[in-house]
Structures are given as C-alpha cells and as structure tokens.
Structure 1
C-alpha cells in the first residue's frame, strides 16, 4: 500500500534495503557472541574430566580400525594402547610420565643406539634438548619419541633444531606420539613408525586471557594454525594431514592408520 508521502508526490518510494547499519551491527554482535560461546565450549570441554564433555565413548585401549580412529585422549596415561593387545615397549620407559620431556641414550635391538625423548612437551624443552645433545660424545642419528603432547610452539622449535642436525625420528612398538608430538616426528629426515605404536592428532588447545575479545582469540588461533601449516610444508609433510586433527575435539585423539601416515608423508616408512 503506498505511503502518505507517495500519495502526495505521485512517486513511489524506493524499496528499502533489508540491511541497515543498526541491523548490521546487531548481526555482528550476534556473530561475536556465537564465536565467544564456541571458544568457551571448547575450553570447558578440554577441562572436563575424562569420560565427560562429548566425544567418543570408546575406551583408551580399544584398537583402531580405518574409519574408527577417534579415541579418548588422557595426557596423563603413560601407555594407552590404541593398536590392540598391550605391546611391551622395546626401550626402557618411565612407569609414570615425567613432568616434561626426559632425554636418554639407549640401544634398541633392531634400531641400535638412539636418543629417547619421553614425556610431555613443555616450554624450555628445546633448549634442554640442545644441552643434552651437546653433552654426548657422539650423537646417534635417530630420536625415538614417546609423548602425549604438550606445547605446540615448543614442539615446532624442537623439530626445527632436530632437522637442522639432520636427525631421523621413529615411533617404536608400544609407544605413543600424540597431540603436539607428531610435529617433532615430522622433523626427522627419515620417519619410521611402527604399526604397533600410535601417532595421533587433535585440535590445538590455546590458553587465551579472559579479557581478550572472542574475535581476537579466534584470530590468534587461526594465526597459530597457519604457523603450524607452514612448518609442515617446511618439513615436507602434506599439511592436509591437519584436517584429521581439526575435526577432532581436544579431549579426543585421532589415531592415524598406515595409509594416512604414508600418504601424508608423516612416515617415510612403516615398521611391524
């Protein structure tokens, strides 16, 4: 129906755009609140005890099969067995995980002398790794990893130092390399993964200040993900492997099967 103004002038009013500045600001505010809620939910999910907060209900010891690879991630569990019946490690590992990466020189029956890096990845571990290497009269050419993950930036730093020394990496039977640990694995000039060990990825967890607006927190997360992708490309790994982690909640872990390890080049060879 024409308005009174249109009746007086005999001219039709131009159609009003459904988009106004006020409405646009309202949509922007709604979007920001939605993103903030998402960040909060991810944060709460990561802090819930194991067995709560969504995700898979499969037990920690359930073997993975192609298409059924998401398991609960417990970073405090020293030897989760995702590959079937319990596999005794072929190296000496601490019964309980140390508070941070522990470096030792060991000899494995099939691999010979190697460096074992076991434990969570914490800030400062890259410098400790360098100090350990400097203490050795002769540095073995291979590093065996056993870690539930930890600080992503520190893992990238360790990886770059490892690659600079042209060392290889390996995952031995009965050991794990989860969360941030695969970024160290990726740095080996050769990367041998036992199919009786486990390599797994999930979404990164970032501590963000409570006062930081949601859009800045998301921007920081995206920037960190970009740095991780650049690192994988630098190491010769297909960054597409990140899709498995990005679709897996922080309280879970996506365990890579042989085809994914080889296709992504996360492993240059697999071992029994």
Structure 2
C-alpha cells in the first residue's frame, strides 16, 4: 500500500462521519477523565447546583455562558414564570397542534402517552413551551413522537431549553419560528438528594450516552450535544438560527418558519 493511500481514504469520508467519529472520541475522553478522580465531580456539583425550573428560588431561564460571560437570550419568553414552572400540561388546539407546556416533571412521559392514546388521531404537531426537566421523560416523549411520525414546533417567543430539545428532536418535521428560544446544557441528577461521587459519575456517563445515541438516531448533528456537554448545568447555551440549521435540529430555515403553522 502506498503511503498516501490512508490519507486519500480519510479525505473520502463525509463530514457527517468525521463529526460522529470526533464526537464519540470526545465521549470516550470524557468517560476517562470522569473515572480518573470521581471526587472532582462531587466538588463540581457543590459549586454548580443543578438547574430546576420548578424551584421558585431559581430563574426559569438561567444565564447564558458565551465566551465565559453570562448573558441571556435575545428575547424573553412570552409565557409568565408560573406557567413555565407548572408540571407539563397537554392541550389540543386547532389545526391538530398539541401544546406541551410547562416543566418536564417525572411522569410527563406517561401522561403524554395517555394523551396520544386518547387523541392521537387528531394530533399532527407537538408545540413545545418548556424550560426542561426530566431527561428520562423527555426521551420517552421524543421516541413516541417519532414513532407516531408527528412534527414538532417551537413558536415565536416560546421556550425549549435544557432537556426540551430532546423532545423537539423527535419530530419528523421540526419548526422553530423567528424569536423561538432554544437552549441546551449538561445533564444532571435532578434528585433533591446530593448524589455520591460514584453515582454522579455513573449518571453523567450513562445519560450522556443515551441522549447522544438518541439524537444520532433522530438525525441531529453531533455539534448540538457537544455544545451541551461544554455548558454547566446552571447555564444555557442559546442556539442561533444558523446553529439550528447547521446541527439539523430544524428541518427548514427559521426565516421562513414564522409564515407556517
């Protein structure tokens, strides 16, 4: 074999394969560092308490972390904090749109499944307005949305943050209107009890792997989850319209989304 043949083979790889390879290399490296000294995770958790939008002493929207300087999104949610803090509710509106609004509490996935079983034939699109919450419930809702071949939407000045983009990713068609607020950050243990270092390490690794595998299956670019992994759980990485296109989180440009239902 000639020396330049491996280089030519590498150049033939498409960008998607390279990104996935780099992403899973990053995950492997993260797992190694977590196992080097799990005591560091306990210290990190003490400094960075997990974001819980249902607690009134925490903001519904945490500050952004962009180049180390906290700031907020370009627009604020239209819904008041008390609406976003409530356990997620589902309301079927006109045009086959099922509004999923509020925090993704434990049990939201089961309630969503019941709603789809009862009214599924009328539902075409799931419109999201949520500050996030339970990762397990978000994954369950997202998987059912894809199974039923439903679309997802984040309306103008609606919020889809933390674990909510996991649900958003389940849509066959994914629409974010102009001024939609979409943000991601690291997963964390939402338990009120402080986990041990070993529990924190195990949770972070297993949950990161499950979410990464799900997003890959949904056709979402690895860049979305890389930005989430780099953002502490008490901060948010707010996505720009260009990033949502680049990461394939939306299936049409934001600029034209506002004109559609």
Aligned to 1:83: 74
Distance 2:116 2:88 in 1: 14
What secondary structure, in the 3-state scheme, does the structure 2 residue paired with 1:40 have? helix
Q: Which residue of 1 aligns with 2:105?
A: 122
Aligned to 1:14: none
1:42/1:136 CA distance change after superposition, 3 Å: same
Specify whether residues 88 and 154 from structure 1 end up closer, same or farther in structure 2 by C-alpha distance, changes over 3 A only.
closer
Check 1:207–1:146 CA distance in 2 against 1; reply closer, same or farther (3 A cut): closer
Alpha-carbon distance, 1:32 to partner: 4.5
Q: Give the structure 1 partner of residue 44 of structure 2.
A: 38
Match of 1:143 among 126, 129, 149: 126
Equivalent residue in structure 1 for 2:179, among 196, 201, 209? 196
Q: Is the 8 A contact 1:170 1:185 kept in 2?
A: yes
What is the total number of aligned residue pairs between the two structures?
215
Give the superposition deviation at 1:68. Answer: 9.6
The equivalent of 2:229 in structure 1 is 246
Return the TM-score normalized by structure 1.
0.68
CA contact (8 A) 2:169 2:220 kept: yes
2:114 alignment counterpart: 131
Q: CA, structure 1 residues 222+87, in 2 after alignment: closer, same or farther (shift >3 Å)?
A: closer
Post-superposition offset of 1:172: 0.7
Q: Which residue of 1 aligns with 2:205?
A: 222
Q: Secondary structure at the match of 2:122?
A: coil
1:230-255 deviations in Å (ceiling 9; x for gaps)? 01011111132112222222222111
Please state how far the C-alpha of 1:99 moved relative to its aligned partner. 2.5
Residues 1:236 and 2:219 aligned together: yes
Largest Rg, 1 or 2: 1
Q: Compute the displacement of 1:140 (Å).
A: 2.5
Which of 253, 257, 261 is matched with 2:240 structurally?
257
More helix by share: 2
Mean Cα displacement is larger for which, 95-104 or 233-242? 95-104
- Residues 87 and 196 of structure 1 are in contact (CA less than 8 Å); yes or no, is this contact kept in structure 2? no
Where does structure 1 lack aligned partners over 5 or more consecutive residues? 1-29, 59-65, 73-81
Deviation of residue 163 (structure 1)?
0.7
Measure, in 1, the Cα distance between the counterparts of 2:87 and 2:135: 14
Q: Deviations for 1:111-158, whole angstroms, at most 9, x for unmatched residues?
A: x33111001101221221121122227322111000000001110011
The answer (yes or no) to whether the contact 1:70–1:253 under 8 Å persists in 2 is no
Is the contact between residue 69 and residue 254 of structure 1 (CA under 8 Å) also seen in structure 2?
no
Structure 2 contact 83–102 (Cα < 8 Å) conserved: no
> Deviations for 1:179-202, whole angstroms, at most 9, x for unmatched residues?
010000000001011121111001
In structure 2, stretches of 5+ residues that fail to align are: 1-35
State the superposition RMSD in angstroms.
3.3
**1:102 and 2:89 aligned:** yes
Query: 2: distance between equivalents of 1:252 and 1:152?
Result: 17
Partner of 1:75: none
